[in-house]
A = this chain, B = another copy of it.
Amino acid sequence: MNQLNLDIATRVIDSALQKGRELELAPLCVVVLDAGGHLIAAKREDGASLLRPEIATGKAYGCLAMGFGGRELARRAQTSAPFLTALSGLTGGKVVPVPGGVLVRSSDGHLLGAVGVSGDASPKDEVCAVAGIAAVDLVADTGDAA
């Protein structure tokens, strides 16, 4: 596979949301971006607060902007705050450097896009993103070593 498509993105989102319901998480928003950082599909569950789409998008976009998963972005936000400030400036504030942004790769490592999840605590959001990606037999890159 060379790129995500709407059918796959929809299955990623529905599987991520199903995982959130299994874990009884707070209402979630799940967004899938293509490798160019552009929206393919998004869903916000009833009761999720109003900025969740922007937060989920910012998690996914930040991963694509830098080429690594949200955990690595979160580490750099801690160790290199000025760089993250610059990244915010460059992108008009679109980057959210916390877990829950996950790169989507093919089995041979090709970058296909990213998933962003927001609504509960960031590590729980990330569990749902990873579950959504696994459901379509693609590889989740959270920014931590596998």
A: residues with CB less than 8 A from B are 2, 5-6, 10, 26, 29, 34-46, 48-55, 58, 64-67, 74, 77-78, 80-98
Partner of A6, one of B44, B86, B97: B44
Residues A45 and B82 in contact in the complex (CB < 8 Å), given A37-B36, A89-B94? no
B51:A6 contact, CB within 8 angstroms: no
Q: How many copies of this chain?
A: 4
Give Cα A46 to B110, complex, Å: 12
Residues A93 and B97 in contact in the complex (CB < 8 Å), given A6-B43, A82-B78? no
B36:A49 contact, CB within 8 angstroms: no
Main secondary structure of the interface of A (DSSP, over half): mixed
Find the B residue at minimum CB distance from A65. Answer: B51
**Chain B residues in 8 Å Cβ range of A88:** 85-86, 89, 93
Give Cα A2 to B80, complex, Å: 36
